[in-house]
Structure 1
Amino acid sequence: MNAQQIADGTWAHLWTPGGWGQTNTGLIVDDGAASMVIDTVWDTGRADAIASENRSLTRRSPVTDVVNTHSDGDHWWGNDTVPSDARIITSAASLHAMKEETPPSGVHLFASLGALAGRLPGPVGATGTYMDRVRGGATFPRTSPRLPNHTFDVTERIDVGTRAVQLRYLGPAHTAGDLIAHVPDVGVVFSGDLLFIGSTPILWHGPLSNWIDALDHLLALDAAVYVPGHGPLCGADEIRAVREYWTWVDDAGRRHFDAGVEYAYAARNMMQSRDFQPYQAWGSPERLVLTMSTLYRLWKGEPAAPPTLLRRARAFADAGALLRTMESR
């Protein structure tokens, strides 16, 4: 594992291809002054390895701040590997969602049971197999990690030594609290999961219009390099492709909803359409059914649902069933 230097004093730890749990993280350094970590990963072995690499890059520049871009565990469950005196920052909405999340021990138990249940036929087996796929062999921390101890509502500038890092809350979208970290002196943006590159994005919270607006904001920054939450480094063309995907999902999904088609069948129909062809090579295309379940809830006028284990289990059952259908063709 090697940190990739993407600009002066700026590194990314990329975990390709960027599937479930394969989270990218970042490091911003003002040599001789201070450093900032962007996100931590949920797998304990990889989190320790990243922390070790970061220590070698920050010997003269202690880590003073850590940013968690949102509440999904694969972006903050490694918080115990950062220096104990570092300030951990996220949006106020993200911290609230983190407190609602199932702890690592609960997810571990569910995934372990899922690995056994995956041998069974029907919905139980589909759910179990998919939950085990989501875990992806990761070893989760035994206890709940450190929560952020500093929050902001919309924007905040953090000075890393003499370098300014502009944090901006652009959610709710993927989750309730999505934020980005813009490093203007080198033209780098850490986007969190507002960008999935080469893999299918997931709408857990919404509204979808907020996500599209967030992509427009990312494009307007005209950065030299964007570090997505999952997948390879990217530029404006890849962001536009994600925007086109969401525009298509919004339009095609709404037509199915208005026609009274159940959301799982809507997802299948959409994936079999010609319009899906530009996205069929993206990883985990079955995630569309997770998004459709969220959109149908919102289109019915219901509030966004918290990320409880029960809700995740139902979503993974839908995705697992769709994946089995795809693989049986």
Structure 2
Amino acid sequence: MAEKAFASTADTTDKMVSFTEVGPGLYAYTAQGDPNSGIIVGDDGCMVIDAQATPAMAEDVISRVRTVTDKPIKYVVLSHYHAVRVLGASAYEAQGIIASNATYDLIVERGEQDKASEIGRFPRLFRGENSIPEGLTWPTITFENSMSVFLGKREVKLFHLGAGHTAGDIVAWVPDAQVMFSGDLVEYHSACYCGDAHLREWPETLEEIRAFRPKALVPGRGDALKGEQMVREAIAMTRDFVTSLYGAAELSVARGRNLKQTFAAARDVMDPKFGSFAIYEHCLPFNVSRAFDEASGIDHPVIWTAERDRELWAALQG
């Protein structure tokens, strides 16, 4: 069998962008399984949820925003620290970049390594890489558990409900429309990336999201979710992905299997249900590695570097 191309380096096809209204003045920027952004338009300005990977790519988000409003983009919210979400932030010229305290700490701990890792894994998502400013993207406003931001009279509530995709994930909730922007805590017909995840806690965090009973939800990847039924389906699908992965790893570790054997066991469980999902093959080695670690008692995810990425890929997908 031919060796699979590393991560998503062979994925060079541009995706079709959709810009969908999910509530009054609320929009989802989605692109067939590529990272989503969300837009909240208030009385006196806008908020963007997740900035895209480069300023050059963020310009397309800005151009879509300009088709619906000329109000200034006042805030950029980073749902978590991954480079593909944050490095485009400078394009918005926002007065505040908001994230959780935990996300800030993760940027300090592993931001440089993550940047190199992600650019190496998925070059298409870093088009216009030379437009990224030197250094890392830093939040200018952080919070522990929750905060409110007012866009005129419109309130946006930001919550750190618990760990999941990373230790620092936050969601944005718009009470007047009952719409949520979840970042990568919820995906729809896309693989969850779990390389930096807290897999035992993630389902509890999903339950917190479900309790809001959103009328619409913008996931981290996949189509905008309109209607409570579609939202519930996506949350259930995400929970199934996470629990199937961790369950396979936990059983394998209990039986004394090594990482390669655990990878095969996870495939047996995951491939039939999720093999057709966007970025599934890219994510699987990193997902199984993290699940194997967590099931082995390593609670704090090991930092990914460009070198570690390649070594793991060769060991499991080679």
How many Å apart are 1:77 and its aligned residue? Answer: 0.5
User: 1: CA distance between counterparts of 2:114 and 2:86?
Assistant: 15
Question: Match for 2:264 among 242, 247, 268?
Answer: 268
> Equivalent residue for 1:46?
57
Unaligned runs of 5+ in 2: 1-16, 226-230
Q: How does 1:49-198 map to 2 (within 5 A)?
A: 49-59=60-70, 61-84=71-94, 86-103=95-112, 107=116, 111=120, 131=121, 134-136=122-124, 138-139=126-127, 140=129, 141-198=132-189
The answer on whether the counterparts of 2:246 and 2:295 sit within 8 Å (CA) in structure 1 is no
**Secondary structure at 1:281's aligned position in 2?**
coil
> Equivalent residue for 1:127?
none
User: 2: CA distance between counterparts of 1:214 and 1:147?
Assistant: 25
RMSD (Å), alpha carbons:
2.5
**Secondary structure at 2:39's aligned position in 1?**
strand
User: 1: CA distance between counterparts of 2:265 and 2:189?
Assistant: 22
How many Å apart are 1:35 and its aligned residue? Answer: 1.5
**Matching of residue 299 in structure 1 with residue 295 in structure 2:** yes
**Matching of residue 314 in structure 1 with residue 308 in structure 2:** yes
Q: How does 1:217-236 map to 2 (within 5 A)?
A: 217-234=208-225, 235-236=231-232
Taking structure 1 as reference, are residues 137 and 160 closer, same or farther at Cα in structure 2, changes over 3 Å only?
Answer: closer
User: 2: CA distance between counterparts of 1:99 and 1:220?
Assistant: 32
> Equivalent residue for 2:8?
none
**Secondary structure at 2:256's aligned position in 1?**
coil
The answer on whether the counterparts of 2:184 and 2:219 sit within 8 Å (CA) in structure 1 is yes
- Per mean C-alpha deviation after superposition, the further-off stretch among 38-47 and 219-228 is 38-47
Scaled by the length of structure 2, the TM-score of the pair is: 0.83
The Cα offsets for residues 183-229 of structure 1, whole Å up to 9 and x where unpaired, read as 12112111111122212112233431211011111211111111111
Taking structure 1 as reference, are residues 72 and 106 closer, same or farther at Cα in structure 2, changes over 3 Å only?
Answer: closer
**Secondary structure at 1:227's aligned position in 2?**
strand
Question: Match for 2:207 among 190, 205, 216?
Answer: 216
The answer on whether the counterparts of 1:263 and 1:289 sit within 8 Å (CA) in structure 2 is no
Identical columns (%): 24
**Secondary structure at 2:157's aligned position in 1?**
strand
**Matching of residue 25 in structure 1 with residue 37 in structure 2:** yes
Paired AA for residue 136 in structure 1: R
User: 2: CA distance between counterparts of 1:214 and 1:249?
Assistant: 17
Unaligned runs of 5+ in 1: 112-130, 325-329
The answer on whether the counterparts of 2:81 and 2:107 sit within 8 Å (CA) in structure 1 is yes
User: 2: CA distance between counterparts of 1:163 and 1:24?
Assistant: 22
How many Å apart are 1:97 and its aligned residue? Answer: 1.1
Paired AA for residue 97 in structure 1: L
> Equivalent residue for 2:273?
278
**Secondary structure at 1:232's aligned position in 2?**
coil
How many Å apart are 1:250 and its aligned residue? Answer: 2.5
User: 1: CA distance between counterparts of 2:188 and 2:153?
Assistant: 31
Question: Match for 1:258 among 239, 254, 258?
Answer: 254
Taking structure 1 as reference, are residues 103 and 191 closer, same or farther at Cα in structure 2, changes over 3 Å only?
Answer: same
